[in-house]
């Protein structure tokens, strides 16, 4: 796999996707609130689905570079969801050297 540093366009795209998720979530909550329990269950499903799609997109389009050994690696959607996020990276364990620290986020060039 090949990687590149994130550009301003990459950050804006990610911010737009987060904003879009928030709009869908809030609009769904407002529109479905009149239906009491069934509406809230539907809203919860919409929220979970949109969160899953956002995290899946992020995990599929990014990789991480270990500051200790310099190796690049990708993570699963589940790991992307549960690991602590930092502004420009994540707190992860490098699969090559085993170092647990902040790893810098990079964009995958050959993303699926």
How large is the average pLDDT for residues 16-44? 85
How large is the average pLDDT for residues 27-42? 81
What is the per-residue pLDDT across 44-98, written as a single tens digit (0 to 9) for each? 888 899 999 999 999 999 999 999 999 999 999 999 999 998 877 899 999 999 9
Full-model pTM = 0.81
The pLDDT value recorded for residue 111 is: 59
> Sorting pLDDT into bands at 50, 70 and 90, what band is 34?
confident
| Residues in the chain, total | 112
Please report the DSSP string for the chain in residue order: --EE---HHHHHHHHHHHHHHHHHHHHHHHHHGGGHHHHHHHHHHHHHHHHHHHHHHHHHHEEEE-TTT--EE---HHHHHHSPEETTEEEEE-TTT--EEEEEEEEETT--
The label of the residue with tokens 């085993």 reads 98
């Amino acid at each position: 796999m090949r990687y590149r540093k994130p550009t301003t366009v990459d950050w804006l795209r990610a911010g737009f996707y987060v904003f879009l998720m928030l709009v869908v979530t809030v609009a769904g909550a407002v529109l479905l609130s009149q239906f009491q329990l069934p509406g809230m269950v539907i809203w919860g499903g919409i929220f979970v689905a949109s969160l899953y799609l956002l995290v899946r997109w992020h995990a599929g389009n990014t990789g991480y570079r270990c500051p200790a050994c310099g190796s690049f690696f990708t993570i699963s959607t589940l790991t992307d969801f549960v690991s602590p996020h930092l502004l420009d990276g994540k707190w992860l364990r490098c699969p090559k050297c085993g170092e647990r620290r902040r790893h810098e986020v990079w964009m995958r060039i050959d993303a699926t």
